[in-house]
Amino acid sequence: MNEAAWGRKLDWTSSLRINPAYWVVAAILLILPAFASNFILYQLFGWTFILGMIALSLMFLAGYGGMVSLAQMTVAGIAGYMVAIFGDSAITDISQGWPWYISIPLALLVAALFATATGWLAGRTEGIYTIMITLAIAAAFFYFFNQNYVIFNGFSGFNGVLPPKLFGLDWRHPIAFYYLTLFWAAAWYFAAIYVSRSPFGLALQGIRDNPRRMAALGYHVTAHKVAAYAIAALPAATGGILLTWQSAQISPGTAGIGPAIDILIVAVIGGIGHPAGAFIGAFIYVILKTFAVDLIVLVGLGSERFRLLIGLGFLVVVFWSPDGILGLWEKLKQSRGLNPLLRRAGRRS
């Protein structure tokens, strides 16, 4: 089993020594609104950070815990539905209109409970079973959202779901929304890196590498897995709420089977071994989704061939670089004998 290889790139996390590359990236992201257009801020980067957060929750489970869950988009979707149901939307029959400080925590809580239940079902299985069960759960909830009109308003879902006017700001304004998504993306990114070296995070990685040995050392393997699902629900749920605010609506299609697979694609293309991979993959995905259509039309194919392009790109990545873009980066570094991000010669040995 090559599962260990998927979590190879963890040595980035082993030191929090802040290197220049981080400062450069941080500086660019912080001053971006000064020169970028609203479209770039709201559509490209807002969406990148949101997708990145949801992919990060998959990365946390898969890269650290060896559990590939396709239900993370469903977790995000549930959180989005909950802010629409507990908070405000155009569907006033269903929406409760509770204030944000109740509806948002409640949304996070419900999403975490759902993830815990998913983890309880999937956590007692391993590898491929986890993928299959979470895929089945994602599909079941997609159909459930579609068919249930009493709570989830069926096919049409909810529109007019807007963020609260906190501090007198319109959070859907491109610049405000950009900083909002950037803040949460950065927060969850650093949280994931921090937790990876905590006793819980280490135990999770131990379970990924060798569950039997972990059990022999006195760890409750299943309990750790379920807890990982609960924790990983938080970035996904945050992403789901922000996604709902971004388009001001949520419907079953938001958390369908296609989007669930797309989250996997995002995490894998970026590199599933490190939190950065989730955001790199999300950025590539968003750029492709936004501009590839023009490119395909240029080549002479119909614009609807986008999924063919994504599928082929995904195939190329998983065939030749199972560790995604970060894996390619790592290979490049090794071939040059220098680690530009850490300013250290190759791997320490």
Give residues 175-234 in contact with another protein (rule: CB under 8 A).
Answer: 194-195, 197-203, 205-206, 208-210, 212-220, 223-224, 227, 231
CA angle, 45 then 249 then 110, to 5°: 95
How far apart are CB 178 and another protein at their closest, in Å? 29
Percentages (nearest 5) of helix, strand, coil residues in the chain: 75, 0, 25
Measured CA to CA, the distance from residue 57 to residue 73 in angstroms comes to 9
Nearer to another protein, 142 or 178 (CB): 142
Place of tokens 């068919």: 147
- Of 29, 40, 136, 341, the one binding another protein (CB under 8 A) is 136
Going by C-beta distance under 8 Å and a sequence separation of 6 or more, which residues neighbour residue 188? 53, 56, 234, 235, 238
By CB under 8 A, what part of segment 263-322 binds another protein? Answer: 264-265, 268, 304-305, 307-308, 310-312, 314-315, 318-319, 322
By CB under 8 A, what part of segment 38-77 binds another protein? Answer: 68
The verdict on 335 binding another protein (CB under 8 A) reads: no
Nearer to another protein, 92 or 147 (CB): 147
Q: Hey, what are 285's tokens?
A: 């995905």
How far apart are CB 64 and another protein at their closest, in Å? 9
Angle between helices 46-59 and 221-247 (to 10 degrees): 170
- Of 109, 124, 290, 296, the one binding another protein (CB under 8 A) is 124
Partners of 249 in beta bridges:
159
Going by the DSSP 8-state scheme, the letter that residue 123 receives in this structure is T
- Of 91, 94, 109, 121, the one binding another protein (CB under 8 A) is 121
Measured CA to CA, the distance from residue 241 to residue 315 in angstroms comes to 31
The verdict on 243 binding another protein (CB under 8 A) reads: no
How far apart are CB 246 and another protein at their closest, in Å? 25
The verdict on 3 binding another protein (CB under 8 A) reads: yes
Measured CA to CA, the distance from residue 209 to residue 260 in angstroms comes to 25
- Of 22, 39, 149, 155, the one binding another protein (CB under 8 A) is 149
Nearer to another protein, 13 or 244 (CB): 13
What's 217-254 look like in SS3?
CCCCHHHHHHHHHHHHHHHHHHHHHHHHHHHCEECHHH
How far apart are CB 190 and another protein at their closest, in Å? 12
Nearer to another protein, 91 or 248 (CB): 91
Measured CA to CA, the distance from residue 51 to residue 73 in angstroms comes to 9
How far apart are CB 61 and another protein at their closest, in Å? 12
How far apart are CB 165 and another protein at their closest, in Å? 33
How far apart are CB 243 and another protein at their closest, in Å? 22
Q: How many residues bind another protein (CB under 8 A)?
A: 77
